[in-house]
Amino acid sequence: MLLRARKKLKEGFTITELLLVMALIAILAAIILPIITRAKGMSYQAKCASNLRQFGMAFSMYSHDWDEYLPGPGGLSGDRTYWSQSGSGGLQGYVKQRGVGSIWTCPLLTEWDGQFPARSYSMNSYLRTVIGYNYAKDIEYPTCVEYPTCLSCQQGIRTDRIQMPGKTILLFEGIPLTGGFEDKLDYLYRCANWSRVRGYIDKIVNTIQPGKPWHGRNNNYLYCDGHVIARPPGRKTTGVLSTQSEMFEWYVDKARYQARCNTIWVGVPFK
């Protein structure tokens, strides 16, 4: 009996048994790997949303210190008045950590070699006040950031001029560029409208995967009341226009926007 047992041990598994085990492992891997990948993606999105919530608090502190004004979205090259800068009214004094892996970047941004510190978030370009007017003008991008027009509209908007803060975007996840406004590698628009949200359009010159949102089908958006939403970005419709519901969340003057909608989308129901 002892010899028989040893003989059976030496024989080992049959080819059929090995193939069966390999097939089971492959099936389990096919089931488990997508779950692990999805869970990892969800953790990245959650960390990114947490970053934006911290920015919401930083914007709030800034506005309390600066007579209820938000920092200017910006647009000029160099270290001028724009929200993410290191001086003259930027947020760096409120959110001092910088670089890849800090709250200034989505955790999916792992490399950066630009002229300015790493950043994957951009500000809604409409959140500015034109000097000489005490209300938002919703100046169209990119006119609002071009020289010399932008010299008169670098000031951020007063928070009490934002009619619907819970329906108005403050920060969004932008499109990385290989060469941009600053003519350097690794760049991200410091401010823009829906046309520079990652996922809006498939092809933009010198950009990296412009048609692919940061988190699967979704991007994270910080709104002016401090809440964060993960949702699909709007998509290009006509010209540089997005959908009505998407554009509604960018404009500050909602009544002015809806009046404009009446002439652009005649007969198209708002949704």
* pLDDT higher than 90, residue 232: yes
> For 16, what's the count of Cα atoms within 13 Å in the CB-facing half-sphere?
0
SS3 of residue 225 by DSSP: coil
Per the model's pLDDT, the better-predicted residue between 76 and 174 turns out to be: 174
At 118, the amino acid letter reads A
Is the confidence at residue 247, as pLDDT, over 70?
yes
Query: 202-226, pLDDT tens digit by residue?
Result: 988 888 899 999 999 999 999 999 9
- Tell me the C-alpha distance between 151 and 20, whole Å: 71
Output the pLDDT for position 191: 87
What whole-number distance in Å separates Cα of residue 187 and Cα of residue 196? 13
**C-alpha–C-alpha distance, residues 84 and 73, integer Å:** 8
Average pLDDT (249-269) is 76
58-109 pLDDT, tens digit each: 999 999 999 999 998 876 555 456 788 766 668 888 888 888 989 999 999 9
> What mean pLDDT comes out for the span 232-254?
89
Tell the burial category of 89 from Cβ atoms under 10 Å away from its Cβ (0-12, 13-18, 19+).
buried
Query: To the nearest whole percent, how much of the chain has pLDDT over 70?
Result: 74
Taking the model in full, what pTM does it have?
Answer: 0.80
